[in-house]
């Protein structure tokens, strides 16, 4: 594992998802980093797969970033395929359905830990399912899938903090984002199909 890279939204724009298969962003602005990278790749005709598990996907933010880049927002949104998970079990199902042989674009997982922090799922069940998902994420990265994982929420119950700590330990690149905003720059690869729909017509499983 590489040493954590501290700070700044500019680092999000500068990290190449091709060189680092598993980038993890944590902090209260982490979700902005995920949206920013998804937007900048879609602006250069790349397909992005966006698995939203924290209800933070914001198509209006993507539209604003596309306009800043002077790119048609409709086309940008069509290149971002989104699937939503509202429970830990839905998230696990979506992650296990990702196929590195069929997907060649960046996969963003927003809020991977969030549903495992939910007190509605017991700590033992949360831990069991979380480590299955983490194992699958590592396997996908080892098989060549490019992953950006963002985690904005912190656990209210400190007994679940170790889940986030263990996620961070598995990063190839770890970024921490506070109150800085991500910028637009340039990027990477492409292709569609799965339980995703593009961001102009979002759906859940």
pLDDT band at 75 (very low <50, low <70, confident <90, very high): very high
Contact between 101 and 144 (Cβ < 8 Å): no
- Please indicate whether residue 85 or residue 179 has the higher confidence score (pLDDT): 85
The total of other beta-carbon atoms located within 10 Å of residue 41's CB is: 28
Q: pLDDT tens, 143-163?
A: 989 999 999 988 888 899 999
Can you list the domains of the chain with their CATH numbers?
9-204 (3.40.50.300)
Where does 68-202 show beta strands of DSSP type E?
80-84, 106-110, 147-151, 173-176, 197-198
The pLDDT value given to residue 3: 39
Task: Give the torsion sign (CA, 4, 154, 38, 64).
Answer: negative
Question: For residue 196, what is the enclosing H or E element?
Answer: none
Q: pLDDT tens, 10-65?
A: 555 566 555 558 899 999 989 988 999 999 999 999 999 999 999 999 999 999 99
Give 4-71 as a DSSP string.
PBP--HHHHHHS-TTT-SEEEEESTTHHHHHHHHHHHHHHTT--EEEEESSS---HHHHHHHHHHTT-
Contact between 89 and 205 (Cβ < 8 Å): no
Q: Return the closest-CA partner of residue 162 out of 96, 116, 111.
A: 116
The pLDDT value given to residue 177: 86
- Both tokens of residue 53? 């598990």
Using alpha carbons, list the distances in angstroms from residue 148 to 51, 68, 105, 107, 158. Answer: 10, 23, 11, 6, 25
The DSSP bridge partners found for residue 147 are 22, 107
The pLDDT value given to residue 4: 41
């Amino acid at each position: 594992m590489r040493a954590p890279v501290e700070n700044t939204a500019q680092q999000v724009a500068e990290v190449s998802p091709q060189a680092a298969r598993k980038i993890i962003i944590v902090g209260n602005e982490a979700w902005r980093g995920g949206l920013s990278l998804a937007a900048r790749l879609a602006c250069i005709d790349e397909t992005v797969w966006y698995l939203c598990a924290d209800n933070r996907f914001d198509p209006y933010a993507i539209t604003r970033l596309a306009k800043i880049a002077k790119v048609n927002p409709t086309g940008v949104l069509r290149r971002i395929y989104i699937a939503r998970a509202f429970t830990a079990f839905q998230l696990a199902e979506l992650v296990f359905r990702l196929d590195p042989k069929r997907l060649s674009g960046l996969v963003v997982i927003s809020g991977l830990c969030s549903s495992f922090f939910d007190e509605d799922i017991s700590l033992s069940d949360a831990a069991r399912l979380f480590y299955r998902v983490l194992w699958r994420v590592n396997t996908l990265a080892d098989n060549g899938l490019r992953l950006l994982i963002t985690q904005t929420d912190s656990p209210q119950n400190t007994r679940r903090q170790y889940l986030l700590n263990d996620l961070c330990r598995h990063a190839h690149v770890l970024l921490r984002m506070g109150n800085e905003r991500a910028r637009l720059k340039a990027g990477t690869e492409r292709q569609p199909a799965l339980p995703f729909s593009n961001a102009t017509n979002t759906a859940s499983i």
